[in-house]
A and B are shown apart, each in its own frame.
Chain A
Amino acid sequence: MTKFSSLVKVYYPLIFGLGLIVSILFFRSALKDEMINIKLTELDQQIFYIKDKMNKLVPSPISPDTNHPFIGQLSSEFINHLQILILKGKNNILYCGERLKEDHDNYRYRDCRQSLKDKDNYYDHEMRMARNSPSQTGFGIRYSNTLSGSPEKILLFSRHFNNHDYSIRIIVSFKEIQDTLDRIDRIVWIFAFVMISILVLVNNLLSNMIVKPLQGIIRFLKDYKEDRSLRLSYTSVEEVIHLQYFLNEMAKGVQKQMSELTQRKNQVETVIKNVSEGVILLDHKLKVLLYNNGLFSLLKIIPELYDYDLFGKYYYEIIRNNPLNNMIEQSVREQTRLSQNIHLSTLENQTLEVICIPLPHKSGLVVMINDITEQYKLVEIKKSFVENASHEFKTPISIIKGYLETILKTDDISVEDQKRFLEKVLRNADRLNNLIKDLITLNKLDDSRDYFRKEPVNVLDVIESCLDILSLKAETKNIQLVNAITEDSLELMGNQELLETIFFNLIDNAITYTDHEGEVIVAFKEDGDRFVFSVIDTGIGISGNYHQRIFERFYRVDEGRSRKSGGTGLGLSIVKHAVMFHDGEVYCEANPTGKGTLFKVALPFESDAEKALASMGSIDGETNS
């Protein structure tokens, strides 16, 4: 790749310079040839002038042996300053100019009519050329070492005349031509140097005008990634200004779009981060792009293990649940929306609702996770409640139906038997009645605030009335009912009917599950702002594992025994809801004194409203004082 600046600054001037030098050399050579030609023509004219003179003076043919007087007559002002040599044939000197003798040592002592010897070699290259060439001329340029002064370049010109067989040669100094050429050289080289310098300067200037703004644009494009508010400053070249203007406009547009996108992204992120559901967005490689904090608690992810940043991690590195991971893979593979409930393998038996939504063009996946443990439990409870309730209804109805059919279909049934059967029908009808009553009570308790009102109630009266009613049942089993409450009055804000239900059920249960000769005690203790009542029996007791579950609807520790005792399986559930209506607590423990069970009911004796009133009163008091 070539840089524009080096192209303009170095290569172009170099090419131009080389071209210029070659042209100069070519021109110089042509000029030199032309100058020599002019000189040669001039010399030729002089030779013809001499020939004309010679023809006038001497009758032809000229014999070398002839001692013609023209030799002396030929010497004149014109001829004397020429370095001229006239040869007859190849080696007879007809005339040797005075100037030649003066300047050239080897001619100095020549007689005109002296023959040439082989070693003298005056019959030189030019002479031969003139004798042999059709134009009868010959010339040469060389250094003469026979000059009396310092050696210098000479131009030799010869013409041969065939008809008289003689040759005339004139030698002139080449210095004149050389000087002219040198002068022209100087001028031309200076001109070339100036031209190349101007070119380099202009190119530098051009390069700077183009390259510098280009470099600025490159720097701008590099830095623009970091700072979107950057803009280009304009230069002086019109085309570059256009480019800079459009780039600036584009940068402005991109900045605007980016800020809009960022704003939108922030809005979406804020929504995602703040929804209670766990949300995770995966890219096409199924690496995490976006997630919210809800995910941590739902999937039991410990964020500090990942330095609080899940970005770029593979989904299987953070979601440690195989069914959920399989679901993600399936959703991506099939590109379909999947929704499934997933149970986590924790002791709490957590249930999550997971929805996988693949993004268009296989660009990723959104996983939404919702904790539905409570809803799931409610559905399960509802399901088992319906199952249990229908089962509870079915048994007495079957019994009633069976006895009534027996009475109707048997003709000779005795009155005693009829009475016995009808008593059983009545008992089961009562059981059904109780069941329905309990269900209605439970249903009311679900919306307790609509059905029950709180008023001041003396709990002691409630307990005593329950003990009164149940004393007969206790007596039949010879169980001792003990009221260990010493207080005269225990008043609280509550609902008389529900409080009666609580204590009636607890004491009734205690009597039911206590064997003959046992004891049921109702005790009381004040604990902070709560009345804590205890119903203690010496009955069969309940294993610790069931202490929580006995408050569930229709839950029975011992199925057979409970049915025999006529319970509906809803009593303790009703108690629990009734206590909850009073913002209290009920729990079951093993009897600390040994055999049996202890139920504790803790009821706050100040309602929230009273507390609020009391606190307002104290504030008023403080303000008044």
Chain B
Amino acid sequence: MKIRLDEEINRLRKTLLEMGNGVEEAIGQAVRALKDRDVVLAKQVIRNDLLINRLEVEVDKICLKIFALKQPIAIDLRFVASSLKVNNDLERMGDFASRIAEDVISLASEPDLPVLDELYKLTELGQQMVKNCLEAFMQKNVELAQRVIKEDRQMDDYYETVIRKIGPYVHENSERFETGLAIINIGKCLERIGDHATNICEDAIYLTEGEIIKHQKT
């Protein structure tokens, strides 16, 4: 019985990682599509979101199967319970990547875009956070989880910079109001992705230490 439980948990790990890779790739592709004004790539990101949604259902099924048939205890129980929540966070991240891609399509005809550098910074940090939060969760690495939680503050700072810079731009180019809005939306999506990465890291800490650190101001 123990071997079977291990096998199921390994399958869960694999599917979660596959989902994480999909999300990470979706974010990267969405922003590359923005960089190159590549509508085809943006559409591909939207299509790939279906795959992420399918993986979410798969993870749910595996978790419920483990609960129903194997009755996990201790670390296994915490892992499966946390996986259900991580699954939800990853799916939301995928949705945000898809929303970025939608904005990219609306921005495709724009010749040049403001505050791209800040958006790139947000993307790079966002991708890194997605990768690291899953790594922290899978490797039970509390140190890394705490680092990612700290990085979320940096993410918020970058987002604030985007907002600060886009204001005067929209003010000066009132005809490009919609462009400004799309850029803000992209920034917001990236910032929200960071928040979900933080949630996963909090789950990683719970998984490793059994301590709930959510909603605790340090």
Contact = CB atoms under 8 A, between A and B. Distances in A.
B112 interface: yes
A306 B139 contact: yes
Contacts of A316: 13-14, 17-18
Contacts of B13: 314, 316-317
B174 interface: no
A347 B18 contact: no
B111 A322 contact: no
Given A325-B18, A347-B35, A305 B25 contact: no
Interface string B32-43: 100100000000
A314 B14 contact: yes
A320 B20 contact: yes
Contact of A543 (B25, B35, B112, B132): B112
B112 A347 contact: no
Q: Which of B17, B35, B120 has the most C-beta atoms of chain A within 10 angstroms of its own C-beta?
A: B17
B22 A347 contact: no
Contact of B112 (A317, A325, A545): A545
Nearest to B111: A543
Contact of B17 (A306, A317, A344): A317
A565 interface: no
B14 A305 contact: no
A347 to B, nearest CB: 6
Interface string A315-330: 0110011100100000
B35 to A, nearest CB: 7
A544 B112 contact: yes
Contacts of A543: 111-112
A345 B32 contact: yes
Interface string A535-556: 0000000011100000000000
A347 B111 contact: no
Contacts of B120: 347
A41 B22 CA distance: 115
A85 to B, nearest CB: 92
B62 to A, nearest CB: 15
Contacts of B116: 545
Contact of B28 (A302, A345, A544): A345
A201 to B, nearest CB: 53
B99 interface: no
Interface residues on B, range: 20 to 34
B31 interface: yes
Given A305-B135, A347-B35, A347-B120, A320 B24 contact: yes
B139 A349 contact: no
B134 to A, nearest CB: 8
B185 interface: no
A306 B141 CA distance: 10
A322 B25 contact: yes
B192 interface: no
B124 A320 contact: no
Contacts of A545: 111-113, 116
B21 interface: yes
Contact of A347 (B10, B32, B135): B32
B29 interface: yes
Interface string A390-406: 00000000000000000
A325 B25 CA distance: 14
Interface string B118-142: 0010011001000110010011010
B144 A305 contact: yes
Contacts of A344: 28
Interface in B135-156: 135, 138-139, 141, 144
A597 to B, nearest CB: 14
Given A316-B14, A316-B18, A347 B28 contact: yes
Nearest to A285: B10
Contact of B131 (A306, A317, A320, A347): A320
B101 to A, nearest CB: 13
B147 to A, nearest CB: 11
A344 B27 CA distance: 12
Interface in A511-553: 543-545
Interface string A33-77: 000000000000000000000000000000000000000000000
Contacts of A305: 132, 135, 139, 141, 144
A346 interface: yes
Given A305-B144, A349-B32, A317 B138 contact: yes
Q: Which of A320, A325, A344 has the most C-beta atoms of chain B within 10 angstroms of its own C-beta?
A: A320
Nearest to B48: A322
Interface in A299-316: 300, 302, 305-306, 314, 316
Q: Which of B120, B131, B132 has the most C-beta atoms of chain A within 10 angstroms of its own C-beta?
A: B131
A349 B35 CA distance: 11
A316 B20 CA distance: 11
Contacts of A300: 131
A112 to B, nearest CB: 102
B31 A347 contact: yes
Contacts of B127: 345-346
Contacts of A321: 21, 25
B186 to A, nearest CB: 14
Interface string B59-93: 00000000000000000000000000000000000
Contacts of B18: 316, 322, 325
Interface string A274-296: 00000000000000000000000
Contacts of A306: 139
A306 B140 CA distance: 11
Nearest to B16: A316
Contacts of A544: 112
Contacts of A349: 32
Nearest to B55: A322
B46 to A, nearest CB: 15
B124 A345 contact: no
13 contacts: A305-B135, A305-B141, A314-B10, A317-B17, A320-B20, A321-B25, A322-B21, A322-B22, A345-B24, A347-B31, A347-B32, A347-B35, A545-B111
CB-based closest 7 A-B pairs: A345-B28, A345-B25, A543-B112, A322-B21, A545-B112, A320-B21, A316-B14
Given A317-B13, A347-B124, 10 more contacts: A302-B135, A316-B14, A320-B24, A322-B18, A345-B26, A345-B127, A347-B28, A349-B32, A543-B112, A545-B113
